[in-house]
Structure 1
């Protein structure tokens, strides 16, 4: 195998591996730990940048998953808003007519229409409030991914801590 092939295969090792053997904090520098004394600085830097690249790709995937989850919650809340509007519209149209004609035997027709309108306005406000409350639970920022990226950046600045 040529030198570039060896470097390429070493860079494609999974994170935490050096020359095919697992490296953990417990085994680093211990007897039986992989000997990296013959590994060039370029290979080590290549391994490090490859691992960091994979780490940040994984963090981006986590952020995408969180955003998708929050978008689903927002969609459900928006559905409640739409359902509230549709239900309020139908209810106002049909029940209002029936109530107005029923109340016209007790009070004047104009007052009956006003009373029925006020009742449906209260119902619509209650549905709107429920949708608004649900919408407030939506968090548009991927909080777990942001926290994880902060930890990764801290580790990258001080990998021995």
Structure 2
């Protein structure tokens, strides 16, 4: 007996020869209402997940801002203590060359300049741009493009 006669003799693959095992004749199209229901459900799930992502990212950014503020405060206090002694010694050393009031004025002006630079640097690290939840914004844009593509089908 040949292989053709064992499979019905036609040589054409039958429904049992499909890779997924489902017969092709039993395939049905889903109604539009079912598709729209699925789209609404998936959109709801997507929105919930985006809200969860936003919460997690904002929590991460708040922690980052808190750490930055603590570092600025503690570091500033320690530097201030050390700076007092350095400024005192610089003023005393400069007072041997110029009048004591002029030595204090020179040292004070230099400290004011350095402090201003440090304040500007710390402020830039705490700017709103650095604390923006970029990943969430990007995924929301992607989700909007996905939703438009789903509606356009």
Aligned to 1:90: 81
Q: Give runs of aligned pairs for residues 116-127 of structure 1, distance below 5 A.
A: 116-127=107-118
Does residue 101 of the first structure (1) align with residue 87 of the second (2)? no
User: Distance in 2 between the 1:102 and 1:69 partners?
Assistant: 48
**Aligned-partner SS, 2:98:** coil
Q: What's the TM-score, normalizing by structure 1? A: 0.58
Structure of higher CA gyration radius? 2
1:130 to 117, 121, 128: 121
1:50 to 36, 41, 45: 41
Please give the per-residue CA displacement for 1:23-57, whole angstroms capped at 9, x wherever unaligned.
Answer: xxxx9xx94998675x894x655544332221111
| Cα 1:64/1:91, change in 2 over 3 Å | same
Contact 1:100 1:113 in 2 (8 A): yes
Please give the per-residue CA displacement for 1:49-81, whole angstroms capped at 9, x wherever unaligned.
Answer: 332221111111222222233333333443454
| Cα 1:136/1:106, change in 2 over 3 Å | same
1:142 to partner: Cα distance: 2.1
1:150 to 137, 141, 145: 141
Aligned to 2:62: 71
**Aligned-partner SS, 1:158:** helix
Superposition CA RMSD, Å: 3.6
Which stretch has the larger CA shift, 84-93 or 138-147?
Answer: 84-93
More helix by share: 2
1:82 to partner: Cα distance: 2.3
Contact 1:70 1:138 in 2 (8 A): no
In the alignment of these two chains, the number of paired residues is: 131
Does residue 139 of the first structure (1) align with residue 98 of the second (2)? no
Q: What's the TM-score, normalizing by structure 2? A: 0.60
